[in-house]
Amino acid sequence: MLALSPTDRLFFLTGAGVSAESGIPTFRGVNGLWRNYRIEEVASPHAWRRDPRLVWEFYSMRRRVAAPAKPNPAHFVLAKLEQKLQDRLFLCTQNVDDLHEQAGSMRVVHMHGELFKSRCDRCTRTPFHDTTTYDLPAELPRGDCGGRIRPHICWFGEMPFELDRIFRALDECTVFIAVGTSGVVEPAASFAAHVRGRARTVYVGEEEPANVSAFTECHLGRAGEVLPTLFCA
Ligand code: APR
């Protein structure tokens, strides 16, 4: 059990490892997505300009894989902990699936966007719920303004969402817990170092992350098995 004080403020950062036991592939693991797709061909503004069809093929595949997935015990622990701690818990996820929400988490900050949302690549129309999968050679969707409809995902080279809010929460937290993230993609990979020295930094995952030196403690194992032992939500 992780010892917590009644005034501790927890900042959780989750990555693909928290959804792995729900059947959603990670990016850099054995069957990781980046083993079969090149980032620059499917997850960057350049890819979108060059071949929007291939980009929609990639995100359509990810929507098909994520749609039947169900939350695992790791997601449920975080949802119950949110109920107990209320505003003393901040949940930031790099994941674009909706498993935290399905498990009952009410306040989820998706810094890399959301797989089941799309938006116009030209106007400022609010991103909208969209589960559509585009099978080739389907005509790609356009918005009313004539812009193309794109996945509401933060691509490589784009600015992640809600960074002001995230850094305010980092500066207020007393315990930072990263779960299932390899610690190689910025700015999330530097969150632990940002709070180190002022807050406890805890890692939970199957293997040591690349930024392991930023953590004061490491609990190796599957998120769905370790998180329930650390938090009696
Ligand atoms: N429980 C806990 N950790 C796990 C599990 C599990 N069941 N299975 C895998 N892991 C760990 C792996 O050891 C690895 O460290 O989860 C981590 C997954 O790392 P990545 O695949 O790199 O995923 P992530 O760190 O979330 O990637 C960050 O990179 O591609 C971009 O935008 C994408 O949000 C993503 C970002």
Side chain identity at residue 52, one-letter code: P
Candidate of 206, 220, 227, 230 to mutate for ligand 1, largest count of ligand atoms within 8 Å of Cβ: 206
* Closest C-alpha residue for ligand 1 atom 17: 181
50 with 81, same domain: the answer is no
226 with 132, same domain: the answer is no
- In CATH, what number is assigned to the domain containing residue 194? 3.40.50.1220
pLDDT at 138: 72
Whole-number Å distance, alpha carbon 94 to ligand 1 midpoint, is 9
In a domain? residue 1: no
* Closest C-alpha residue for ligand 1 atom 30: 27
Q: Annotated catalytic, 110?
A: no
Atom of ligand 1 nearest to the CA of 34: 30
- Other beta carbons within 10 angstroms of residue 30's beta carbon come to 7
In a domain? residue 135: yes
Tell me how many domains the chain contains.
2
In a domain? residue 44: yes
pTM of the model: 0.97
140 with 166, same domain: the answer is no
Options 112, 152, 194, 219, the catalytic residue: 112
92 with 75, same domain: the answer is yes
Whole-number Å distance, alpha carbon 98 to ligand 1 midpoint, is 16
What is the full per-residue pLDDT of the chain (233 aa) written as tens digits?
Answer: 899 999 999 999 999 999 999 999 999 988 899 988 999 899 999 999 999 999 999 999 999 999 999 999 999 999 999 999 999 999 999 999 999 999 999 999 999 999 999 999 999 999 999 999 987 667 899 999 999 999 999 999 999 999 999 999 999 999 999 999 999 999 999 999 999 999 999 999 999 999 999 999 999 999 999 999 999 75
- Return contacts of 118-127, CB within 8 angstroms, 24+ apart: 118/149, 118/150, 118/151, 118/152, 119/149, 119/150, 119/152, 120/145, 120/147, 120/148, 120/149, 120/150, 121/48, 121/147, 121/148, 121/149, 121/150, 122/146, 122/147, 122/148, 123/147, 127/152
- Residue 140's domain spans which residues? 30-68+128-153
The beta-strand segments (E) located in 46-170 are 89-93, 108-110, 113-120, 128-129, 149-153
In a domain? residue 120: no
The beta-strand segments (E) located in 56-199 are 89-93, 108-110, 113-120, 128-129, 149-153, 175-179
84 within 8 A of 161, measured Cβ to Cβ: no
Candidate of 72, 182, 222, 225 to mutate for ligand 1, largest count of ligand atoms within 8 Å of Cβ: 182
- In CATH, what number is assigned to the domain containing residue 57? 3.30.1600.10
pLDDT at 139: 82
pLDDT at 233: 58
Burial state string for 124-145 with b = 16 or more CB within 10 A and e = fewer than 16: eeebeebeeebeeeeeeeebee
Residues with CB under 6 A from ligand 1: 15-17, 20-21, 26-29, 32, 94, 112, 180-182, 185, 205-207, 209, 222-223
* Closest C-alpha residue for ligand 1 atom 4: 17
- Pick from 219, 208, 221, 169: which is nearest to 191 by CA? 169
